Structure formats: structure tokens, C-alpha cells
Chain A
Amino acid sequence: MLKVTDVKKAYGKFTVLEDINLEVADGEFLAIMGPSGSGKSTLINILGLLDQSYTGEYLLEDKNYQNVSDNELSRIRGDQLGFVFQNFKLLTTYNVYENIEIPLIYSKKAQNNKQELIADVIDKVGLTGKEKNRPSELSGGQQQRVAIARAIVNRPKLIIADEPTGALDSKTSKEIMDIFTKLNKAGTTVIMVTHDSEVAEYAMRTVYIRDGHLYNDEKSVKNHD
């Protein structure tokens, strides 16, 4: 799916990521764990083509996107990637249906069967009947379901989730993780950032990030300390 080789990112003298090497296979469910400020959000911004200012090489589906146009990047983000954020990032003045519709507005893929696609993902995340509700009328768990529906409505190959359960209680977290597991089993690659080891257990593989360095297991993190 993707391959990261010697990626480095710095803000002036301050290095955020150092020699990151990572490979993720198609259909994998990867958890990236690390404390806050460790650089995990920076890493997934690069993986999600949201941040292009880094050195090293990042190939998504064997293609390097570092020097492509903004339009091309936007198209790839819209068609192949789906984002889920910690604080849901829903538009508060839009209802559930309209929030989920956003990626379809900018995609050329689905112009004729928008309603079907939206109904399908609403069903998948278990929100049928809530189409007309505003985010403020929903619980945290339900809002995150809307965010997941929005992320998958364009049938992306890769879902990038940044602390998807960070704002949820443990019961709701479990429900959300079950949705991710289901999506992954259906073939979608999932990369998830979390600092919760219980949540990370849903993933097939966990990598650790600390002070901008990436480690393949917890032991090497400790050795580094």
C-alpha cells in the first residue's frame, strides 16, 4: 500500500521526524502509538498527503506525490483516502446527510448514485433514521460514526484515523473500533494513531513513535530510553 523511506521533517532547527522507515501492506490494520508531541500526527499528515514539506521518500501505491499539483493531490485525497479525526470535525450547521455528502461534492466518481452511496454508509455505521439530525443532536459516539461514514463514502483504499476514540468513553470506543475492524476485514487498509494500548490491540500490528523516531516494538522504545 505504502512505503516510507528515510523521511525526515523539521521546523527550522527543531526536528519532528527523523529517519522514518515504514511499510504498510494492502489490507493491513496498523496502529501507531506514542505520547503527545512524539510526532505521530505529523507522520499521518504526511501519509495522508496533507503535508508535503518533508525530505526522504514516500510512495503511496508505488507513486511519489511530493511534486504533483494541488489539484492532483486533492483528487487522490478525495478518491483514495478517508480521514477520521479525534474531534470528529463535522460541520455543525450541516446535518448528518450533508456532512457525509462532502467528499462526493468534489469527486467525479459518484455523481449519479450519491443518495444510494450515502444511504449505504449510513446503514454501515448504524445511523439510519438520523440523516436529518445536526451533529449537536448526536452523542460523541454517533458523531464519530458520521465522521467514519464521511471517510468511507467514496470507498477509499486507505483510512487514516487520528485518535478516533480519543474523545469517547470505553464502551463507545469499542463500538467504533468494531466498525474499523469490519471495514478492514472488508479489505480497506487502516492506519490509526492512538495512545491507548487497549484500542491499539484491534490492529494487526503496532509501531511506536517517540521523539520523532519510529520503533517496531515496545522493547526497542525502552532500549532507546
Chain B
Amino acid sequence: MTDKILIAFKSIGKNKNRNFLTMLGIIIGIASVICILAIGDGFAHTVTKGMGNHNTRNKVILQWEPTSDYNTDGGFTQNDASVLEKVPGVDHVKLASSIAEAGAKVSYKTKTASIGLNKQPKNLKLVKGTYFTMTGASNGIYISEDLAHKLFKENAINRLISVDGTIFVVQGIYHISNMNYRPDAYVSKTIFKQLFASQISRDQAKLYVQPDANKKQVGKTAVKRMKAMGEQKQTGKYSVSNPDAISKQFTRILNDITYFIAFIAGISLLIAGIGVMNVMYITVSERRKEIGIRRAFGATSSDIRNQFLIESVVLCIIGGVIGIILGYILVSIINAFLPFKADITSYAIILSLSVSTAVGLIFGFIPSNKAAKSELVGLLKEE
């Protein structure tokens, strides 16, 4: 076996250029496989981790959706919450909103704009001004670059603007990149609670369940009760929200992309395989003299078949290894543009090497068999 692997390396090394060109298909195919798997795995990993944060294990989320697009006000009320708390299995209920920002009208002199607004986050990178956490009933406001351009010709800092009739002082301006969603303005936590929070419809009720409760049953009963007693039952629909739904849809899109790239990788590997077959045919016919000599000195036809099969597999594995390295480089580059981290798992590497071996075996078989079946006397006439 070692002998045959050495022979394979030797003969591959003899025709480096030819064999490298043959390997290109495998290199591209395997590199694509590595990229697909890395992106897929990275995404799956992020989603699972994200779901861990949601911690849906001990709660059921009820959703209220308005029946009409024009009537978005509404959702769960405190009365609804007390009804829900009486559902068997429910420990306590928290009302929340899927939309975390309030709508408001902002004006400066004659200019007005409709904006989305939220309480300030812990950290925010500003392009102008200094960022600090505003305490108490501070009337500071941070606005986006876009909003600043809409309202002011030049410097916006320290100007007074009116938001739904309340006056605020512009403290700073931040940039909204394409990658991150942010509302148009931030105010202090206290002010937000006092003036705007009531605007946000509480369209979610989080039912924290007791450890031994059947979540499915809890969800069903809760929806039933809301349909009967919910204060907004006329204007909207109640349902159990499935936090996986969004990621499922995302996964489906990603899967479609994966199938597409896998299809390309498959075609690339098929063409690569045909290339391997071709080069093995050439090798076999170039080495008829060698086959004859080996046969005359004791090699069986299966020794010859194995020798060429090993050569074809070694060729493909070398291609596969280069493909994995190329894939690694590509994944590092792709990672710079992805919102999540694509990672290469050992499973991906094992799969790539198995695919390479399979290509070598499948496409090397016919030429190797041809070598093994050649008429001995004819082979020994070769010079």
C-alpha cells in the first residue's frame, strides 16, 4: 500500500502542470462545498444561539395582530393580562411590544417630519456631540444624520426641536449604517416612559409558565380565552407566536441558496471527475510499458488496477486539500461581509475529503480497469 501511494505521488509529480489543471475543478468544487457548509453552519449556530437568548423554554408568547392595516393601535390590556394569569399552568404574564419604537411628529421652525423614536441605548457612536446617559426628566435628544439633514441646514447641536409638542435639545447626531436598523431619534428612558411608551401598542403577551406546564395546552387555552374575553377581540386576532418562524423562513431562503451553490459545486465536481478520468486515460496509455514490466515481474491485474485507482484518489485528495485551504481563505474573506460568523467544522472537512475520494474512485475506476485488463504480450511490445 505505502509502495503504491509513493508510486502515485511520483507519477503525479512527473506531470505537475497537467495534473494541477485537472485538479482545478476539484479545488473549485471543494472550496464551494467548504464555503456553503461554513455559511450554513455559521448561520445555524447563530440562530440557535439567538434562540437561547430568547429563552422560549419557559414561556408562551401570545400575539395580537390588527385585522386592518389602518388600525394598529391596540393589543393586550392590563385586564387581558389578569385573565391570562388565570390560565392553568401560567405563572405570571408580561406585556410587551414587537415594535420597540413610538411614532412621533417632530418640527423645527416650518419643517416637520414623522419619525420613529425610542429610549436611548447604553452605547451609541456619534458623529457629532458627546454621548452620555441622560438621567431624570432630561429633555436631551439624539437624532440621526438623516433627520438632522431634513431639519437643519447646518449645525444641529443644541438646537431646540419640538417632538409631539414637547421641546427637546439636540445633544448629538448618529449615523445609521445599512447593516444596522435604528430609529430616527433617542430620548432618555424616563421621558420615553412618560411621554411615548403608551403609544406603543402592546401586541405581545409573554406567558411565563410553571415548570411542569404543557406549553401547547397553555397556548391553546390562552388564545381561546382571549378570543372570548380579550378587550381588542373586535379589532384584531389573537394567536400563539412561534419565535422560530422568522428564523425558519430565513433558513429556508438560505437553504435555497445552499442548494443552488451545491448544484454548482456538484457540476464543478462532475466536470472535475471527467477531467480526472481523461487524465487517467492518458496516464494509462502513456504507461503501457510500465504496466507490462510490472505484470511480467509479478503484479496481478488487481495490483495494477489498485495502483491507478490510488493514483486517481491521491490526485483528487491533493485537489481536495488545496480546495479546503482555498475554501478557508474564501470563508475568511466572506466573514468580513457577513452579519454572522461562518465557521468551518470538522464535519465539513471530513465531507470534503470523502467527496474527493469518491470522485477519484468513481472516475478513476474505468481507466484503471482498462490498465488492469490490457493484454500482457501487447504491453511488453511497447517501448
**By the criterion CB–CB under 8 Å, are B298 and A91 in contact?**
no
The answer, yes or no, to whether B10 is at the interface (CB within 8 Å) is yes
Given contacts A103-B298, A106-B299, A106-B303, whether A89 and B293 have CB atoms under 8 Å apart is: yes
Partner of B380, one of A50, A71, A75, A78: A50
Using Cβ atoms and an 8 Å threshold, which residues of chain A touch B295?
A: 74, 77
The answer, yes or no, to whether A93 is at the interface (CB within 8 Å) is yes
Q: How far is the CB of B358 from chain A (nearest CB, A)?
A: 27
- Residues of B319-344 whose CB lies within 8 A of A: none
- Residues of B11-42 whose CB lies within 8 A of A: 11, 14
Instruction: Compute how far the CA of A153 lies from the CA of B208 in the bound complex, rounded to whole angstroms.
Output: 84
* Central interface residue in B10, B300, B302, by most chain A CB within 10 Å: B300
**By the criterion CB–CB under 8 Å, are B377 and A51 in contact?**
yes
**By the criterion CB–CB under 8 Å, are A83 and B296 in contact?**
yes
Q: How far is the CB of B246 from chain A (nearest CB, A)?
A: 62
**By the criterion CB–CB under 8 Å, are B380 and A79 in contact?**
no
- Residues of B141-198 whose CB lies within 8 A of A: none
Using Cβ atoms and an 8 Å threshold, which residues of chain B touch A150?
A: 297
Q: How far is the CB of A118 from chain B (nearest CB, A)?
A: 14
Majority-rule SS of A interface residues: helix
- Residues of A62-88 whose CB lies within 8 A of B: 70-71, 74-75, 77-79, 83, 85, 87
**By the criterion CB–CB under 8 Å, are B289 and A89 in contact?**
yes
Tally of contacts, chain A with chain B, CB under 8 A:
60
**By the criterion CB–CB under 8 Å, are A74 and B383 in contact?**
no
* Central interface residue in B289, B294, B376, by most chain A CB within 10 Å: B376
Query: How many of chain A's residues have a CB under 8 angstroms from any CB in B?
Result: 24
Q: How far is the CB of A149 from chain B (nearest CB, A)?
A: 12
**By the criterion CB–CB under 8 Å, are B297 and A87 in contact?**
no
The answer, yes or no, to whether B204 is at the interface (CB within 8 Å) is no
**By the criterion CB–CB under 8 Å, are B377 and A50 in contact?**
yes
Instruction: Report the contact-size class of chain B (Cβ under 8 Å from the partner).
Output: 20 to 34
Instruction: Compute how far the CA of A102 lies from the CA of B298 in the bound complex, rounded to whole angstroms.
Output: 9
* Central interface residue in A77, A83, A87, by most chain B CB within 10 Å: A77
Instruction: Compute how far the CA of A106 lies from the CA of B302 in the bound complex, rounded to whole angstroms.
Output: 11
Q: How far is the CB of B305 from chain A (nearest CB, A)?
A: 11
Q: How far is the CB of A209 from chain B (nearest CB, A)?
A: 17
The answer, yes or no, to whether B212 is at the interface (CB within 8 Å) is no
Partner of B10, one of A45, A77, A85, A93: A93
Using Cβ atoms and an 8 Å threshold, which residues of chain B touch A71?
A: 300, 302
Using Cβ atoms and an 8 Å threshold, which residues of chain B touch A75?
A: 298, 300
- Residues of A88-109 whose CB lies within 8 A of B: 89, 91, 93, 102-103, 105-107
Partner of A45, one of B289, B299, B377: B377
The answer, yes or no, to whether B268 is at the interface (CB within 8 Å) is no
**By the criterion CB–CB under 8 Å, are A70 and B301 in contact?**
yes
Q: Mark B352-379, 1 if CB is under 8 A from A, else 0.
A: 0000000000000000000000001100
Q: How far is the CB of B332 from chain A (nearest CB, A)?
A: 39
Which of chain A's residues has its CB closest to B11's CB? A93
Using Cβ atoms and an 8 Å threshold, which residues of chain A touch B380?
A: 45, 50, 85, 89
- For this complex, 13 residue pairs linking A to B, each with C-beta atoms less than 8 Å apart, are A50-B296, A50-B377, A71-B302, A74-B299, A74-B300, A75-B298, A77-B297, A83-B297, A89-B380, A93-B11, A102-B293, A106-B300, A154-B298
Q: Which residues of B come within 8 Å of A, CB atoms?
A: 3, 10-11, 14, 289-290, 292-303, 376-377, 380, 383
